[in-house]
Amino acid sequence: MSDQNMKIKLRVWRQKGPTYPGKLETYELDNVNEHMSFLEMIDVLNEKLVQEGGEPVAFDHDCREGICGMCSMTIDGNPHGPNKGTTACQLHMRNYKDGDTITVEPFRATAFPVIKDIMVDRSAFDRIQQVGGFISVSTGNAPDAHAVPVSKEKADLAFDAATCIGCGACVAACKNASAMLFVAAKVSQYELLPQGQPEKEDRVLNMVAKMDEEGFGSCSNTGACSASCPKEISLENIARMNRAYSRASFKKR
């Protein structure tokens, strides 16, 4: 089957900087190939804007392989677009039809201020991870395999939590802009392993306190975070973090 080119109308959020007002600007593309990724389509738009003497749309990207989580954009109201378990860079234009109108906006959250256009500052996530501290492990010679016993169930759960790429889709999807799923994933990946036990109380207390300090909202309990997560992080991690936080708070008192 031959490749198909489409005409697409784009409504893209344009904003000069954090202190400037922004608005949606409309653009039309008539050479969008169905096999392009969504970010490649944005590249085509930027090439057109540059050729016409305009300013290209600023957006964040790096690996374009669904690994880094930097392509934080809301597409038709959905963080990363309509497909489940994918990032924006993994979304392809074959999901759209000729003549479609697509609205592209930045992630919306007070804790994610807009840098420019559809690029936001997600460094609040970095600061939350930093206060989580470290894990205690023996240094020196490499330990023998399985020297520290870990059940397969807990190892699998820890690995699943560790797949979180910190993209912020959970925050953008939540009506309260809560970071609970992200923080819970980062707490859980150590809470489940013996190496993470020595600092577990300080870790959960510090990370939750920093989350609140950064301006993220409280959990809405709707599950929109997990539904929008490109790595499909489970809500069970939030329950696990809440239990850990309650235990740590009681012990500190």
Give residue-wise pLDDT tens across range 86-106.
Answer: 999 999 999 999 999 999 999
pLDDT digits (tens, 9 = 90+) for 47-64: 999 999 999 999 999 999
Distance CA 38, CA 91 (A): 6
Among candidate residues 89, 88, 85, the one with its CA nearest the CA of residue 107: 88
User: Which residues is 92 bridged to in the sheet?
Assistant: 37
Distance CA 127, CA 214 (A): 9
pLDDT digits (tens, 9 = 90+) for 180-235: 999 999 999 999 998 889 899 999 999 999 999 999 999 999 999 999 999 999 99
pTM for this prediction:
0.91
Q: Where in the chain is the domain with CATH 3.10.20.30?
A: 5-116
Contact 92, 38 (CB under 8 A): yes
CATH topology of domain 5-116: Ubiquitin-like (UB roll) (3.10.20)
For residue 154, report the phi and psi dihedrals to the nearest 5 degrees. -70, -35
Arithmetic mean of pLDDT, 105-127 = 97
Q: Which two tokens stand for residue 195?
A: 């190496």
pLDDT of 1 > 80? The answer is no
Does the domain spanning 122-252 belong to CATH 3.40.50.720? no
Q: Where in the chain is the domain with CATH 1.10.1060.10?
A: 122-252
